[in-house]
Amino acid sequence: MKSSWNIVLVGFMGSGKTTVGREVARRLGWSFVDTDDEIVRQAGKSIAAIFADEGEEHFRCLETRVVRKLAAMNETVIATGGGVVKNPDNLRLLAATGVLFWLQLEPEEIHRRISGQRITRPLLKVPDPLGEIRNLLRERESYYAQADFTVNANGTVDAVASMIIAEMNGWRGR
Ligand code: S3P
């Protein structure tokens, strides 16, 4: 039995974790937090600046520190950065207090969505972003698949949020 309740959204960049997470939190009357926002707030600079100045390894340390803090929350929807699953400690911490949902999306759709966004993802600032998305997805798929539920993220924000809430209600009724 989990000691407290959170909903944790994992999945690749651009899969809608933040937008869907906000909607789920709004409907449930829960709090919403985003690990990236929290890192930016604590570091006092953007993700891109952290990667550029201190490198990915430092970013991952900050990320784990934030995960530790957020996993201690209750009735909170936690949207995570796409790489959070790479560290087994993060997954363990998040799974101890939350139900994990993988927002799954095809690489082509991820690429389409990310190309239309102004926010720059340092890991995708490469000559072949679609190829890189495919590589990273291949590397991470088995980690994302450790989530309690896999949700097809290729729908409207409303539809994806409804699926998560329905699964969550079923899970609580178990
Ligand atoms: C990353 C995903 C980003 C952010 C950072 C690294 C990743 O978060 O944490 O750029 O490794 O996939 P989003 O998934 O919210 O874009």
Tokens 């989990």 correspond to 2
**143 close to 120: Cβ distance less than 8 angstroms:** no
| Mean pLDDT, the chain, whole residue set | 94
Strands (E), the chain: 6-10, 31-34, 76-79, 99-104, 149-152
- Domains defined along the chain, listed by start: 6-172 (3.40.50.300)
What's the 174 CA to ligand 1 centre distance in angstroms? 33
Residue 87 is classified by DSSP as: S
- Are 86 and 59 within 8 A, CB to CB? no
CA atoms of 90 and 140, how far apart (whole Å): 14
* 16 Cβ inside 6 Å of ligand 1: no
Q: pLDDT band for position 116 (50/70/90)?
A: confident
Model confidence, pTM: 0.96
Nearest CA residue ID for atom 4, ligand 1: 81
28-66 pLDDT tens trace: 999 999 999 999 999 999 999 999 999 999 999 999 999
3-state percent breakdown (helix, strand, coil) of the chain, nearest 5: 60, 15, 30
Q: In ligand 1, which atom is closest to the CA atom of 63? A: 9
**pLDDT tens, position by position, 120-154:** 789 998 999 999 999 999 999 999 999 999 999 99
Q: What is the pLDDT of residue 4?
A: 60
